Structure 1
């Protein structure tokens, strides 16, 4: 097939700089895609668990537990990944660090707006006083509302994302169809000295198309 031929030709006939550059791009790109996918999945799980964790803290505060104990309860009762993150906060608190500072660090590390809201709420309560349980109860409702809105936006943009993925995959599907229907279609251009560079250029443009499609359909809530 044309794909196998292209891979063989690049691996055997392309200049060494092209081979090195392509190898670096493929290696770094594969690692980036894998790590980015894992990170997005982890953040998505934390966003989904956060309202439950805040409500658990509210119940703990209302029965008389101090906030540090509420953090420990969340660490024990909530599953990973959020449970382990709150476990780290509980450990830092046990060694004397302010819980609000640990929450700020967690919010910045996760780059999550809802965690920033939680850190700000705790900081304000520590500085000016007030009923923390009531503050967190209101925050839990806000976080749940934002999460429902996020789900709704995700459903609305699903069609646009599917269209973007289809348009990105269409050239590859067309290439496969051509190879099945007429395997010798590219025989005349395979021997051209510009074939490898043209194929790499097309692959680069397809990758850019996929990236921009994802940016356009990634609506922040």
Structure 2
């Protein structure tokens, strides 16, 4: 009886031990220190993977920035190597289809005309300064006036080019998104855009047809049109050809930057308009007063032209006026 009574108890104990062992085996991974360790290792690994991902993205961005800076430096080095601006290059920048010999002939004619004009403008009583005035007028008419006119033509042409460049980049962006190759987009700009964009991009297309690469053709365009915006455009195209990427998105961002720069330029122009008007009035006031006094009472102002001390006063006054105009010009010209 004793053994028979112990059997159910032993059976129950064995069953309880089996159930406990099974429960422990099932719950062991969740309550053991190895589980906690695995969680910590997984968290550390995940955080490290995230950090590596962030670092990789940062490295990619830093690599692109470095590539852009290297491209800018390379372009600047090339331009410094070709820094000498010849008269033929100035004529190309102005968009004039003339030979440098014609420019020098026109400069000689301008010098002669200015010399004769100064001879008749100086009063007959001031014969002492007539040769000096004629020499100065000859120099200004031969070297100063033609170069000044040429620089104004270049500035006007560059201003027109810059005003339409953002629209041309938008044409390229829409063309690329619709499936057209880049060369076809440039051809569309050369055919349908106004001057001077049509001639400049047409020159790029013509150079590509004779075997010049697109990067070199755009770099040559930066020599003919030395603007920061054109350099940005050439750098974006060069980087896309070297490393690939979404050209439409890059050019779209560039178009937005160019429009923002144009808005800033117009804002600066509006804010500095009053200062420029004041500088113009102050610069024109002394010569205007002198002209009015000379026409109303020439005998009153004649000692300025007839005496040596009067001539010295004129030279000193012109020098101070020039210094003041240059200072005002420096104050109202903003870099942005």
Quickly name the TM-score band, shorter chain normalised.
0.7 to 0.9
1:101-124 superposed Cα distances (whole Å, 9 cap, x missing partner): 221222243221111111111111
Question: What's the RMSD between the two structures over aligned residues?
Answer: 2.6
1:58-88 superposed Cα distances (whole Å, 9 cap, x missing partner): 1111111111111111111111011110100
Worse overlay, 165-174 or 24-33: 24-33
Q: How far, CA to CA, are the matches of 1:119 and 1:166 in structure 2?
A: 41
Worse overlay, 16-25 or 50-59: 16-25
Residue 132 in 1 paired to residue 247 in 2?
A: yes
Maintained 8 Å contact 2:303/2:310: no
Task: Between the two structures, name the one with larger relative contact order (CA 8 Å, sep ≥ 6).
Answer: 1
Which structure has the bigger radius of gyration? Answer: 2
Task: Determine the structure 2 residue equivalent to 1:69.
Answer: 184
Worse overlay, 185-194 or 93-102: 185-194
Q: 1:203 to 1:44 in 2, by over 3 A?
A: same
Q: How far, CA to CA, are the matches of 2:313 and 2:141 in structure 1?
A: 17
Query: How far apart are 1:14 and its partner, in Å?
Result: 3.2
SS of the counterpart of 1:130? coil
SS of the counterpart of 2:334? coil
Normalised to the residue count of structure 2, the TM-score between the two structures is 0.59
Maintained 8 Å contact 1:125/1:132: yes
Equivalences, count: 219
Task: Determine the structure 1 residue equivalent to 2:293.
Answer: 178
Task: Determine the structure 2 residue equivalent to 1:199.
Answer: 314
Unmatched tracts of structure 2, length 5 or more: 1-117
Query: How far apart are 1:213 and its partner, in Å?
Result: 2.6
Residue 84 in 1 paired to residue 84 in 2?
A: no
Normalised to the residue count of structure 1, the TM-score between the two structures is 0.87
Residue 59 in 1 paired to residue 170 in 2?
A: no
Write out the 4+ residue segments of structure 1 that deviate beyond 4 Å after TM superposition.
3-6, 9-12, 15-18
Q: How far, CA to CA, are the matches of 1:220 and 1:177 in structure 2?
A: 38
Q: How far, CA to CA, are the matches of 2:280 and 2:148 in structure 1?
A: 16
SS of the counterpart of 1:61? helix
Maintained 8 Å contact 1:77/1:83: yes
Query: How far apart are 1:89 and its partner, in Å?
Result: 0.5
Residue 187 in 1 paired to residue 308 in 2?
A: no
Q: 1:188 to 1:199 in 2, by over 3 A?
A: closer
